Amino acid sequence: MGDWSEPDRVLIADLLVRGIIGLNEWERKKKQDILVNLEIFTDIRDAGRSDDVSKTVNYRTITKAVIALIENSSYFLVEALATEIARLVVAEHGVPRVRVRVEKPGAVRFARSVGVDIVRERGDFE
């Protein structure tokens, strides 16, 4: 691995998915918009030099997995959903470190969205 002070990142920005999230009774019955942003910290120097897809993370595969997770889950807390997304990316896709931001647009009056922003590493899921 490289120096984490300025690590390489693969970005998945503004992924909008509908899923069950929240504490209120109506939130448990009706899917809502959930906005996800990922920063996948991984060394992509070999991929840049070789132009070889096997030397990098497959962002399409990760995106499909995150969409399936959200569409088929029903978390009460955005904290729990963000943690599970991080676990999926790190543990199942071999990524050393990920930043996950999960937001519920329109969840609070007068705010564009509310959410959490977490960073997790392999050691968090061992």
Catalytic positions, please? 104
Please return the burial class of 40, using the count of CB atoms within 10 Å of its CB with bins 0-12, 13-18 and 19+. buried
> Does residue 21 sit in helix, strand or coil?
strand
Identify any residues that bridge with 114 across adjacent strands, giving them in sequence order: 104
What residues contact 48, with CB distance under 8 A and at least 6 apart?
A: none
CB contact at 8 A, 39 and 11: yes
